[in-house]
A and B are shown apart, each in its own frame.
Chain A
Amino acid sequence: KRLELDPRLASYKGIWVFVEMERGQVHPVSWELMGEGHKLADVLGVELGAVVLGGDPAETAAAGETAFTYGADVAYTVSDPILKDYRNEPYTKAMTDLVNKYEPEILLLGATTLGRDLAGSVATTLLTGLTADCTELAIDPDNRGLLATRPTFGGSLLCTIQTLNYRPQMATVRPRVMSMPDAEPGRTGRFVTEQLGMVENDIIAKVLSFIPDEDQDKAQLAYANLIVAGGRGMGKAENFKLIWDLAAVLGAEVGGSRPVTHAGWLSADRQIGQSGKTVRPNLYIAAGISGAIQHRVGMEGADVIIAINNDPNAPIFDFATYGIVGDALKILPALTEAFRSRLAVNRRAG
């Protein structure tokens, strides 16, 4: 297999990031990717493009403006009432038409339910390569190709995947894997506006209704700044009260390891790790969690990790910031109490 690029593909230039928008809300993973895309574009010396698809011209324009503040040079927008709710067919058409017309060399999407649905469809339609759930993106200095690194076998190993003689090179990245870049207010760019070229009658799938999740909080775990998590070492479901108590005092979210969600001590959407959520909080407190690689890959992006474990040799102490050796059932209430009294003092003082 040759890595040399076919001359007919040499016209593909620039890096694109898909700006995922649902019901007027841009998914933060889009800006995380914009930050990564910016770095790659600098290495290659090319433009960074934002692709914004939506149903309302004001919304798409606003998202484009925000994309500029995160580093986009150009915003490619398609605005059409047909694109109001996500549907595979019109979104795939809008994206593939844009790619075929403007020929970017790299296309990045968030590995959300929407992003994966779209990425798989676009890659197959364009007959190009797609690397899933990358944790690192870089440029190969030898051939300007994308080096997309992703965990394999539950994170025990990493592999770097390259797309050979095909363009664009596509990759998805899970939310919270890349850090959120700082916005540069006032930074501007250029708009390129295209038409969808479809009428509603062309589209077979109809959205009959949308039922929002009752517990919107759960969806927020990935973006929580403070998380208290418990593992199998908590012993039994009732002991999780200690986790919830500490979380309540801190205003934190609650998460757990896989055995805990499997046992039903916590709901499945609170699982953190390779087959759960990736989190990137400022503070992660892990109680009774051993620190297996499949858990670690979901939380090691946290700024400060505090591990509480009664085994001084638990693997989690190899990568936590602070460790407390001891019985979580005793340490947690002590921590909750300590926080409660200091917070009270500060509130009185402040």
Chain B
Amino acid sequence: MHIVVCIKQVPDSAQIRVHPVTNTIMRQGVPAIINPFDLFAIEEALRLKDKMGGRVTVLTMGPPQAEDALRKAIAYGVDDVVLLTDRAFAGADTLATSFALAQAIRTIGEESPVDIVFTGKQTIDGDTAQVGPGIAKRLGLQLLTYVSAVDAVDLDQKTITIQRRSEGGVQVIKTQLPALITMLEGTNQIRFATMSDMFRSARAEVPKWSKDRAGIEDVTKIGLKGSPTVVSKVFAPKPKAVKAQMIGVDGDTPQAKAAALLDVLTGQHPRLASELGLIAG
């Protein structure tokens, strides 16, 4: 079985700050990490491999520094990695991103056909959850989003049974391979890297694919050119003009403050007060 996992390198958003005057993102010194949602995809792929054999290839599209994310993936125990990197990919929206990734997966599959593609649920920067469905449609793969468990894979029958989150419950779906799975968060826990994989990771040669190496000929479908959407404006949210009206003063007892608040609600918000039962509705 051959599994491809797509991962994205993202800035650790917990550490991102916005410049208060210029409204630009201050990236300097912000560490780059593997998109946290993608770790669930890597782990699920490794578990399938542990159970059924085969190999796991991790693919990312990004700047040359994204190599670090792939080394990390090797340390977790994946077999192969591919870094799709080319100036021509810059400025891609999700449509252009899914085109490039789909083409790279096609090329990866020429050597050894791909049975399952995994992605994360979404990223923490672009946060659209659109790339997984995009890749699936472009490659004609069965699309399985928000998967919480892979119940069974039958390589002879080429079938897969999964559980996926839907509104108000869990759907159990059986379908045909090849399929694309977007993995739900919290469904597993990424393993610790072993010593030998860490050594392998340090020594590994990370293959860097240009658009040509990935088999991409049509440059109107990638990067800025291949992106129907453009960001036309970036701005800071309007601060709310009015601040909170403070109830009570220092030294008031909690009981006094509570009573004062209920008086204000009753006086100023009759509809809410009647919904709460403070006044007879």
Binding site for B on A (CB under 8 A): 1, 20, 22-23, 27, 85-89, 92, 112-114, 116-117, 119-121, 123-125, 127-133, 147, 151-166, 204-213, 216, 219, 225-226, 250, 268, 275, 282-283, 293, 300, 303-307, 316-327, 330-331, 333-335, 337-339, 342-343, 346-347, 349-350
Contacts and interface: CB of A to CB of B under 8 A. Distances in A.
B9 to A, nearest CB: 16
Contact of B246 (A157, A323, A337): A323
Contact of A338 (B18, B138, B244, B255): B255
Contact of A116 (B95, B145, B176, B244): B145
B230 A324 contact: no
Interface in B108-143: 124-125, 127-134, 136-138, 142-143
Given A120-B132, A325-B246, A342-B262, A164 B257 contact: no
B155 interface: no
- Counting chain B residues whose Cβ lies within 8 A of the other chain, the interface size class is 35 or more
A230 B176 CA distance: 45
Contacts of B246: 317, 322-325
A212 B173 contact: no
A147 B269 CA distance: 35
Interface in B240-264: 240, 243-248, 250, 253-255, 257-259, 261-262, 264
Given A162-B230, A211-B170, A324-B257, A307 B244 contact: yes
Given A153-B125, A162-B230, A326-B254, A212 B168 contact: yes
Given A283-B276, A337-B255, A205 B132 contact: no
B174 A206 contact: yes
B175 A162 contact: no
B235 A112 contact: no
A213 B163 CA distance: 13
Given A124-B137, A282-B272, A114 B167 contact: yes
6 contacts: A120-B94, A120-B134, A129-B228, A282-B275, A303-B272, A318-B244
A133 to B, nearest CB: 7
A317 B244 contact: yes
Contact of A22 (B161, B168, B258, B272): B168
A158 B245 contact: no
A322 B247 contact: yes
B21 interface: no
Given A132-B127, A163-B229, A350-B280, A157 B236 contact: yes
B239 interface: yes
A161 B280 contact: no
A156 B168 contact: no
A18 to B, nearest CB: 14
Given A86-B166, A157-B235, A219-B168, A127 B95 contact: yes
B195 interface: no
Given A208-B173, A219-B168, A322 B229 contact: no
A85 B243 contact: no
B169 A213 contact: yes
A156 B18 contact: yes
4 closest residue pairs by CB, A with B: A120-B133, A129-B228, A323-B244, A334-B254
Given A303-B272, A317-B243, A205 B174 contact: yes
Q: A-side binding surface: helix, strand, loop or mixed?
A: mixed
Contacts of B258: 331, 334-335, 337-338
Nearest to B164: A113
A117 B248 contact: no
Among A86, A326, A333, A337, residue most surrounded by chain B Cβ atoms (within 10 Å): A326
A63 to B, nearest CB: 15
Contact of B133 (A27, A117, A152, A156): A117
A205 B94 contact: no
Contacts of A152: 125, 234
B1 interface: no
B225 to A, nearest CB: 9
B44 to A, nearest CB: 18
A322 B129 contact: no
A121 B140 CA distance: 11
B241 to A, nearest CB: 10
A114 B25 CA distance: 32
B23 interface: yes
A298 to B, nearest CB: 13
B230 A153 contact: no
A159 B234 contact: yes
A278 to B, nearest CB: 14
A300 B242 CA distance: 13
A117 B143 contact: yes
B276 A250 contact: yes
B202 interface: no
Contacts of B94: 120, 123, 130
A322 B175 contact: no
A135 to B, nearest CB: 9
Interface string B263-281: 0110001011001111110
A333 B257 CA distance: 12
